[in-house]
Amino acid sequence: MTEVARKPRRFPLSTAIPLALLLLFVFLSIAGPWLWGTDAETSNVAVADQGISSAHWMGTDDLGRDVLARTLVATRSSLVLAVLATIVGGCAGVALGLLSAVSRRLGRLIDGAIGLLLAFPALLLAIFFAVLFGIGSVGSVLAVGAAFAPGFARITQTLTASVISKEYVEASRVLGKRPLYLTFRHILPNIGEPVILYSTIHIGTAVLALSGLSFLGLGVQPPSYDWGRLLNEGLTRIYTNPGVGIAPSIAIVLAGLTFNMVGERLSDILGGRTAAPPKLPSKQRGLDPAPARAETTGTTGELVEVRNLRVVYHTVDGVTTPVRDVSFSIAPGEKVGIVGESGSGKSMTASAVARLIDTPGRVEARTLRFLDADLLGHGTEVDRHLGRNMSVVFQDPGEALNPAIKIGTHLVEPSVIHQREPKPAARRKAIKALGSVAISDPARRFRQHQHELSGGMKQRVCIAIGLMGEARLIIADEPTTALDVTVQRQILRLINDIGEMTGAGLLFISHDIAVVSELCDRILVMYAGFVVEEARTADVFTSPAHPYTAMLLAASPDMDTDKSRQLPTIDGRMPGPGVDLPGCYFAARCPRADVTCTESAPPLRTLAEGHRVACWHPLTGAGAAGDDELTGVEAKI
C-alpha cells in the first residue's frame, strides 16, 4: 500500500499495475502474430512434445510448435473475440433493458424473460446458443454475447428504473419534455457510467467464457486457436509437457485479473476515491484547547455531567470536529433539550453521551459521567450499567427496528439480558408496555414484524422498549421528526408521561425549537459544535441572549407572525466540522460582531441565574446593547 503525501501521485500503484497489464495485452493483440507468428506455425516434428527447455520456454506441442509463441499469438483472437462478444451482449442487453423500462406491456414480457434467463448460469446459456448459432468463432461470439445479454438487460433495467423515478426526470416531464429527450438527455448519461463499468469487467468474464467454450471444443475451431483451444488440445499431453497446460492457463488468468483490476480502478476513479487514504496524523493540528475557565452550573449528584466534550473524526477526507466544546448537566428527573440546525453537532453530542460513537470517531472530555459512572472508560460493566439505566430513541423508527426480528423479541431481549428476567415474565411485561404506549391489540403486535406497523406505531414500540428497563435517562434524538404532527403530539405526551411516572431524566434533541419548548425545562442552543446559549425554556423565548438564538426564533413563522413583513434572515452558512476558526464561529454572520469576536472565542459565561451564553455582545444582561437590532421585533412572551 503506497503512502501518499499532500497530493496524490499521478499514478499510484493501484492504477499503474492494471494500466501496465492492459497495455501489455493490447500490445500483444496487435503485435503478437506479427512478432511470433512464424514461430507459432513452424512445425518441427523432430522436437515434438518436448518439455520446458531453454530453447522452448514452454515446450513444444505435438507438431513441434513452440507453445509460448502460440500462446502469445493467441492473445489477439482471445481478446478480440471477447471484446466483440461483450459488444454484442452489451448492445442487445442495453436495448432490451431500455425497452423494458420504457414500454409497459412489452416491458413485463421482457422482464419475465430476463428473469428466467438470469436464473441460468452463463455457460449453460452459451451452450444452448452455441447449438443454435453453431460452433466456431462467429458462433461462439454470438453465443457468449447472447448469454451476457440478460445480465446487461437487467442492470440497464434497474438503472433506468431508478433514473426514471428520479425527480429531475419528473421535473423534465412537467416542463413538457418528450420521452426521446428524456432518454438521451437524462437517462443514458446517468446510466452510462455504471454500464461502461459493467462492460469493462465483463470483457474479463467474456475471455473466461469464450475460453471455456473453446476448451470444450465448441469455440474457435482449428486451424485457428485461442487460449481455450490451446488448453483443450494440450490437456491430454500435460504429462509429457506441462507447458501446454501452464502457458494458456497463466494467460487466461492474467487476462481475467487485468480486466477485473481495470474495472475496479475505473470504478474507484469514477466514484471519486482517487487517492490512497492518507496516513493518520499522529498529532492533531492545533485545535482550540478546552477553555479552562468554563463555569459549571451543576453540582455532583447529577444524572449526567458533561464538561468540555469534544468529538473528533479522522477520516480519509481529513480531520473533522463535529462537536467542539460542549458542557452541561442534567439533574435527576430534569428534561433538557438541545436545539440546533443540521451540522450543529447536537446528534453527535447525544451519541457521545450514549456511548455510540465508533472509530474513526473519538470522544474526548474533561468529564463525561452518567449516574456516577465514567462514560469515557471501557468495558462491559459500563455497558451493562448503560443497558439498565439509559434508553435511546432514534429518529427513524423504521430503521431502528430489525426487520428480521419480531417486535416482541426487541422488547423482551433487554429485560432478559440485563435484568435476568425469565422469559414468560418478560413477555407479560412487554405486552403491558405495548399497551401503555397505546398500541392497539398488543398481543398481536408482539408477534408481528416491523414492516407491518405504521410509523407512529414503530416509534411507540421504540419507546416501549425503553420502558422495559428502569431507565434513569431517556435520550431522544429527533424522535418525532419523521412523524405527522398529530402523532408527534401523542408521542411527546407519551414521553412526558413516562418521565413523570418513572422520574427519568430526558435529553431531547431536535431542530424544531417549538417542539423542544413543549417538553423541556431547560434548552441548550448549539451552533457549529458549541453550546452558544443555555437557559430555562421561558427565558430562552422572552430574552434570548445570543444573536443566533434570536434569529432562530424569528426566522420560524408561528401562528402570530406578521404577514405583512418578510421573515428575518441572515446570509451565510454555518461553518462545517472541518473548519477551524480562532474566534466566534457565528461572527461572520452576526450583525453585532466586531474584531474581538473574530479574534477570540467567547467562553460560555453566566449571564443571569440559570442563563449562560457564549457571546461577547449578548442581547441581554451584561454587555447588552439595547434594542434587538437583529430581528427588530419584540421578544416573544
Partner 1 sequence: MSAQLAGEPDAGSPAGPAAGAATGRGVGQWAFFVGRKLLRLVVSLLILVTATFIMVHLIPGDPVLAALGDQATPQLIALRRHELGLDLSLPAQYFHYLQGVVTGDFGRSIVTDAPVSQLLATKFPNTLGLAIPAFVLVVLIALPVGLLTAIRTRGGRGRVTRTLFVNITGLLNSIPDYVLATLLSLIFVVAIKAFPAAGNGTAASYVLPVAALVVGPAASLSRIVRVEALKVLDAEYIRAAKARRLPTLLRYWRHVLPNMLTASLTFGGMILAGLIAGTVLVENVFGWPGVGTVIAQAVIQKDYPLIQGILLVLGATVLILNMIVDFVLGVLDPRSRMGAH
Partner 2 sequence: MANLSVENLRVRYGAATVVRGVSFDVADGSVVGLVGESGSGKTTVARAVVGLAGSSGAIRIGETDLNACSARQARRVRRKVQLVFQDSRSSLDPRFTVEQCVLEGIDRSEFRRRADASRRVAELLEMVSLDPGLARSRPGNLSGGQRQRVAIARALAARPDVLIADEVTASLDVSVQAVVINLLRELQAELGLTMVFISHNFALVRYMCDDLAVLFNGRIVEHGSVDEVISAPEHPYTRSLLAAIPEVGRRRLLSDSAAEATAIGDRPAVGGCDYRLRCPVGPVAHADREICRTDDPVTEAGGRLHQAGCHFAHRKDGAGVPA
| Contact flag: residue 211 with partner 1 (CB under 8 A) | yes
**Interface pattern 523-562 for partner 1 (x via CB under 8 A):** ----------------------------------------
If contact means CB under 5 to 8 A according to the sort of partner, which of partner 1, partner 2, none does residue 595 touch? none
Query: Rule CB under 8 A: which of 292-351 touch partner 2?
Result: 341-342
| Contact flag: residue 155 with partner 1 (CB under 8 A) | no
> Which of 286, 294, 415, 305 has the alpha carbon at shortest distance from 352?
305
| Contact flag: residue 442 with partner 1 (CB under 8 A) | no
Q: Which cell goes with 341?
A: 440546525
Q: Cβ closer to partner 1: 106 or 555?
A: 106
Q: Please give the size of the binding site for partner 1, defined by CB under 8 A.
A: 89
Q: Cβ closer to partner 2: 172 or 260?
A: 172
Q: Cβ closer to partner 1: 268 or 288?
A: 268
If contact means CB under 5 to 8 A according to the sort of partner, which of partner 2, partner 1, none does residue 493 touch? partner 2
Q: Which residues pair with 373 in a beta bridge?
A: 370
Please give the angle made by the CA atoms of 624, 628 and 633, to the nearest 5 degrees.
155
Which residues, at least 6 apart from 298, have a Cβ–Cβ distance to it below 8 Å?
305, 328, 329, 331
| Contact flag: residue 16 with partner 1 (CB under 8 A) | no
If contact means CB under 5 to 8 A according to the sort of partner, which of partner 1, partner 2, none does residue 132 touch? partner 1
CA-to-CA separations, 321 to 145, 167, 309, 477, 584, in angstroms, rounded: 52, 34, 11, 20, 15
Query: Rule CB under 8 A: which of 470-509 touch partner 2?
Result: 484-490, 492-493, 496
Query: Rule CB under 8 A: which of 236-275 touch partner 1?
Result: 238-239, 242, 245-246, 249, 252-253, 256-257, 260-261, 264
Q: Cβ closer to partner 2: 43 or 320?
A: 320
> Which of 318, 322, 320, 313 has the alpha carbon at shortest distance from 275?
318
Alpha carbons 273 and 392: distance in angstroms, whole number: 35
Q: Which cell goes with 139?
A: 458462433
Query: Rule CB under 8 A: which of 315-374 touch partner 1?
Result: 315-316, 354, 356, 358-360
Alpha carbons 123 and 116: distance in angstroms, whole number: 15
If contact means CB under 5 to 8 A according to the sort of partner, which of partner 2, partner 1, none does residue 535 touch? none
Kindly report the backbone phi and psi dihedral angles of residue 504, in degrees, each rounded to the nearest multiple of 5, phi listed first. Answer: -75, 150
Query: Rule CB under 8 A: which of 536-595 touch partner 2?
Result: 537-538, 541-542, 551-553, 555-559, 561, 563, 566-570, 573
Query: Rule CB under 8 A: which of 180-199 touch partner 2?
Result: 186, 189-190
In angstroms, what is the minimal distance from the CB of 548 to partner 1?
30
Alpha carbons 68 and 61: distance in angstroms, whole number: 10
Q: Which long-range contacts (CB under 8 A, 24 or more apart) does 492-495 make?
A: 492/518, 492/519, 494/437, 494/438, 494/460, 494/463, 495/393, 495/463, 495/519
**Interface pattern 399-438 for partner 2 (x via CB under 8 A):** ---------------------------------------x
Q: Cβ closer to partner 2: 320 or 481?
A: 481
| H or E element, residue 254 | helix 243-270
Alpha carbons 385 and 252: distance in angstroms, whole number: 58
Of 317, 383, 497, 500, the residue at the interface with partner 1 (CB under 8 A) is: 383
Q: Which cell goes with 579?
A: 473548519
CB of 143 within 8 A of CB of 81?
A: no
Residues that bind partner 2 (CB under 8 A): 166-168, 170-177, 186, 189-190, 341-342, 438-440, 453-457, 484-490, 492-493, 496, 511-515, 517-519, 537-538, 541-542, 551-553, 555-559, 561, 563, 566-570, 573, 636-637
